[in-house]
Amino acid sequence: MRRWRKWLIIGGLVVVVVGGGIFNWYQKKNAPTEVSIARVELEDVVAKVTANGKIQAEKKVDLAALVMGQVVNLAVREGDPVKTGDFLLQIDKTRATAQEAGSAAALSGSQSQLDSARAALERAQGDFTRADDNHRSGIIPVADLQHAQAALDTARAAYQTAVHQIEQSRAVLNASRDDLSKTTVRSPIDGTVTTLRIKAGEVTVVGTMNNAGTQLMTISDMSTVQAVLMVDETDTPSIALGQKAVLTLDSYPDRRFDGVVTEVGSSPIARDDVELAGLITTSDAINFKVRVKLLDPPPSIRPGFSVTADIITGTRSKVPAIPLAAVVIRDSPRGEKDAIGRLKTEQGVYTVVDGKVGFVLVTTGITGELQVEVTEGLEPGTEVVTGPFKTLRTIKEGDRVKAMSEEQRKKQEAGEAGAS
């Protein structure tokens, strides 16, 4: 009897433990899933494209050497303000002066040759006239007339040669004077010497087809400046002329500057682009250049300053909006396929009605920083599931859910942010 009672007690305990485990498993299996829930609200949605770039003068001139020679006088320093016509630097003009003098002498010699050719032509013309009269009178034979005609033709050719020689000598003299004038470099615009690449005593070199000439300096008109931005190809189609932008400069961390888009590039940025040097990477990313004019630049702004711009590409006021995290792209549950045999996808959100999940197809509009406009499918006040991300991948229509506590929601958001 004692043994029988012992086994009865043990069996009862086993039944209690196993039954309790099964009951707990059933309770957990059928317990509602904790999710974060948000409501569809009427809000202002602002779509923007963020891009990095550099500040550049809207009007600037890069001065390069046009003649070869030593810089004998450098009159400006980097940062100096200059006016149109101000003297900047002097290149040694000894050689250019000598060439100009030689060209002038050659022109004078050509003028003398022209005078001599003119006199010879006039003499040959007179000889031919007399020979023609004498031939008509029968005084001289036709051979003498032909000789006079040949002399006249020769004199005319010599005169034309002298005329062309004059033109050539005058062209050489003009070129020599032009080279001489280029030894003195003056400012072509009002502005500031923003880059000075030459020093007194250095020798300038004229650029050729394959080799760049000596770069002297850059003069920039900083009264009108622009941000030259590098925009990803996926964002470029949404940018248009006239769109507003808000710019932040690293040099002025506590200020915001208004701007307007003035140019959208039509071809990708080259790897050797000077305006964005230092920002272009060696990756295969395709970027386009966008220019944004600063409407009220500070007086102390400099070319090359780093800038970040938020270009406003669209705004909607008081429209139904939901968090971006709520939008789900899933495979068609009906197994529908497109023309090439790929499984179709559908865009929607998981809604919550009476504690149960449903899936609603939605059409979205512009996308803001954290929210997206809903143009079709949802009404204001509708509850939608916004997370966790893993739950959005696994829940199904009809599943029971409940809203997680605020503390749990913050932990879940912090965890997903850390994982990303």
- Please check whether residue 406 lies inside any domain of the structure: yes
Cβ pair 26, 371 in contact under 8 A: no
In a domain, 224, yes or no: no
**Could you tell me the pTM of the whole model?**
0.70
DSSP-derived secondary structure for 300-317: T--TT-EEEEEEEEEEEE
Residue 292 included in any domain: no
Residue 165 has a CB neighbour count (10 Å cut-off) of 18
pLDDT averaged over the chain? Answer: 86
Q: Which two tokens stand for residue 43?
A: 């809000």
Query: Among the three residues 120, 149, 182, which one is the final residue of a domain in this structure?
Result: 182
Tens of pLDDT along 212-236?
A: 778 999 999 988 999 999 999 999 9
Query: Is 168 a member of any domain?
Result: yes
Q: How far apart are CA 242 and CA 14, in angstroms?
A: 78
Each residue of 278-321: pLDDT tens digit? 787 766 778 999 999 999 898 888 888 999 999 999 999 999 99
Q: Is 192 part of a structural domain of the chain?
A: no
- Give the contacts of 379 (CB within 8 A, at least 6 positions apart): 40, 320
Q: What are the beta bridge partners of residue 371?
A: 323
Within a domain: 71:
no
User: Which structure tokens are listed for 277?
Assistant: 């040097």
- Residue 73 domain flag: no
The pLDDT tens digits of the residues spanning 12-61 come to: 555 555 554 544 444 445 578 888 888 999 999 999 999 999 999 989 99
In this structure, the answer to whether residues 329 and 415 fall within a common structural domain is: yes
Domain total for the chain?
2
What pLDDT, in 10s, does the model give residues 138-178? 888 888 889 989 998 999 999 999 999 999 999 999 999 99
Instruction: Mark which of 151, 166, 182 sits at the end of a domain.
Output: 182
Q: Of 119, 151, 182, which residue constitutes the final position of a domain? A: 182
Provide the residue range defining the domain that includes 105.
93-182
Residue 85 lies in a domain: no
